[in-house]
Amino acid sequence: EIVMTQSPATLSVSPGERATLSCRASQSVSSNLAWYQQKPGQAPRLLIYGASTRATGIPARFSGSGSGTEFTLTISSLQSEDFAVYYCQQYNNWPITFGQGTRLEIK
């Protein structure tokens, strides 16, 4: 099973600043990586798939990069609605696995 490790567990950033979230795979997942955003009491929402392709309706301030074992989700200028928990998910090998999440909080 591929283990996905996200860092940091919690990230404190001020509105308007840039946030960088990391996801590391225990072995290569090529570009078969997705990012999701989850707000309290809500279901996850797809942000990025294929490591760098924004899902429909996702603002351009969200970007994904990386391949192999190292991935990054960048939010260029944080808006109030961006404070949430973010998960990465790999599909390169079964089983599908998720990271443990990064909580993005207001500084």
What span, in angstroms and rounded, lies between the C-alpha atoms of 82 and 59? Answer: 11
Q: Which of 2, 32, 62, 84 binds another protein (CB under 8 A)?
A: 32
**Minimum CB distance to another protein, residue 5 (Å):** 11
Give the residue among 77, 74, 83, 85 at the shortest CA–CA distance from 105.
Answer: 83
Give 105's strand partners: 12
Q: Is 91 one of the binding residues for another protein (CB under 8 A)?
A: yes
Cα gap 22→85, rounded to integer Å: 13
C-beta closer to another protein: residue 71 or 87: 87
- Using the rule CB under 8 A, is 49 a contact of another protein? yes
Q: What residues make contact with another protein under the rule CB under 8 A?
A: 1, 31-32, 34, 36, 43-46, 49-50, 55, 87, 89, 91, 94-101
